[in-house]
Amino acid sequence: MRPPPPFLFDLDGTLADTIADIAASTNHVRAHLGLPQLGIATVQSFVGNGAAALLQLALADLGWPADDPRWHDVRRRYAAHHATECTKTARLYPGVREHLAALRARGHALGVVTNKPVAFARTLVDHLGLRELLAVVVGGDTLDRRKPDPAPVLFALQQCGHDRGDGTMVGDGETDLRAGRAAGLRTIACLYGYRPEAELRREGADEYWHRFGGP
């Protein structure tokens, strides 16, 4: 008998509220460059496409071209700070642990597919006590492509022992919904996360959650 289909989840803004730690590392880099601090809401609007894209948006006022070698130092500085900062205030959304445990008890394989660098993703999964529930963790640098490309989702499905079109992708961003749809998965949009509800509604999903695990 074929096992139940897997559930794949985004991390930031879906399983856990991590924005204060992301903002702290972003503002650490800005302070080093002599720039004023950004509010959490502003940093939140930049989240979803990985650390490099976040920094390009957060430092757009510098006017550096994309191939400027100074970006390498900026990314290293962000990564060094975030390595110790990424769990400072991170917390699971209500009901996450219970819902994941119920899915596992029913035989569903569970995994994370995030654009966050995989080292930080694994650190967070461990810190939040989800390692035993989430068998697969795929980060933005696990492959040479990231969401909204379906490649990371398809890779996670393979790691779970399943095929394209078998399962559900759950996330709070357009990249999650697009990657899941391109992989043939059912999609669930988390309206409590970091992206505006109107944008997620325009993107379309099979189901919408106002809280984790339910409508």
In angstroms, the CA 205 to CA 186 distance is: 8
Q: Are 57 and 22 in contact (CB under 8 A)?
A: no
Active site residue 10: yes
pTM: 0.95
- List the catalytic residue out of 10, 21, 166, 172: 10
Options 3.40.50.1000, 3.30.930.10, 3.30.420.40, 1.20.58.100; which CATH number does 7-17+91-209 get?
3.40.50.1000
Q: Domain residues of the chain, as ranges?
A: 7-17+91-209, 19-85
Omega cis (within 30) before 196 = no
Q: What is the pLDDT of residues 24-56, one digit of tens each?
A: 999 999 999 999 999 999 999 999 999 999 999
Of 177, 195, 194, nearest to 186 by C-alpha is 177
- pLDDT exceeds cutoff 90 at 196: yes
DSSP state, residue 205: -
In angstroms, the CA 204 to CA 138 distance is: 24
19-85 is a CATH 1.10.3330.10 domain: no
Mean pLDDT of the chain: 96
What are the helix (H) ranges across 10-117? 19-32, 40-44, 51-58, 70-85, 96-105
Q: What is the pLDDT of residue 214?
A: 86
